[in-house]
Amino acid sequence: MRDRADALAYIRPMLSPSEIERYARHLVLRDVGGPGQQKLKAARVLAIGAGGLGAPLIQYLAAAGVGTLGILDDDAVSLSNLQRQVLHGTPDVGRPKVESAADAVARLNPHVIVEAIPERLDAGNACALVRGWDVVADGSDNFATRYAVSDACFHEAVPLVTAAVGSFDGSLTTLRPFERSGSGELNPTYRCLFPEPPAPGSVPSCVEAGVLGALTGVLGAMMALEVIREIVGFGEGLVGRLVLIDALSMRFETLRYGFDPENPLSGTGRLGVDGPQ
């Protein structure tokens, strides 16, 4: 009882009584507690996309008490989104996704500040958009955005949690390529894992191939978990590890990958923000 009283005395000046009750299940977790919840409250996280992956990602980060959530998306809610994009509802059809998402966050947790960014990220504006955030979580649905985000996070030294989903499969990893591992080796970049995007048209889009709605929920929640682990600092992160999900066989695998000295970001033939150097 004394330990709990001491813990509450520590967090009371920093969390309001309603926040203490709201985050009670976090506060009693040994690896989160008051200090971890304070880190979450102070954190700034940018979510790229408010769609299939972004919807559960945003919901769980808001519920966890991340202090400032940036939501970047230039799309509007359509009826076909609602099979998987559970952040939005039928009355939101036609609204900008960032507005619908901001309203959903406000309903869920009024302590979270939302910065709605109704823009499309590309190679030209990516560095400016990711700059100043503590963690970026990329749930975009196209290769051009994924590469632009990962390149920009490398140049701006921002940790990146990135996921992708197919019809019945998905993947998740974390990138800190601006740092070195415990052994002193440079951490891998996204381009160490996937050097170049596939040729246009070689991979069918969600519209063409379909996607299992619940699978985006699983991956989006896992993204939120990884972001929380990055902020609070517990467990073994996914830097240099790629989680693969096969929903047809309900199989999860984790593969290790390393730094490629020939990668175009931190290896030979480096690419600057505006091209080869």
Active site residues: 206
| Helices within 46-117 (DSSP H only) | 54-64, 97-108
**CA nearest neighbour of 186 among 274, 269, 265:** 265
3-state SS, residue 148: helix
Cα end-to-end distance, the chain, whole Å: 61
Tell me the sheet residues that pair with 136: 46, 160
Q: What whole-number distance in Å separates Cα of residue 133 and Cα of residue 158?
A: 7
Q: What whole-number distance in Å separates Cα of residue 222 and Cα of residue 245?
A: 11
Q: What whole-number distance in Å separates Cα of residue 29 and Cα of residue 27?
A: 6
> How far is C-alpha 119 from the geometric centre of its chain's CA atoms?
17
CA separation, residue 33 to residues 38, 39, 48, 108, 125 (Å): 9, 10, 28, 21, 37
3-state SS, residue 188: coil
Pairing of strands 113-117, 135-138: unpaired
The answer to whether 143 and 197 have CB atoms below 8 angstroms apart is yes
Q: In one letter, which amino acid is 116?
A: A
Residue 55 in tokens: 């919807």
Q: Residue 91 carries which DSSP code?
A: G
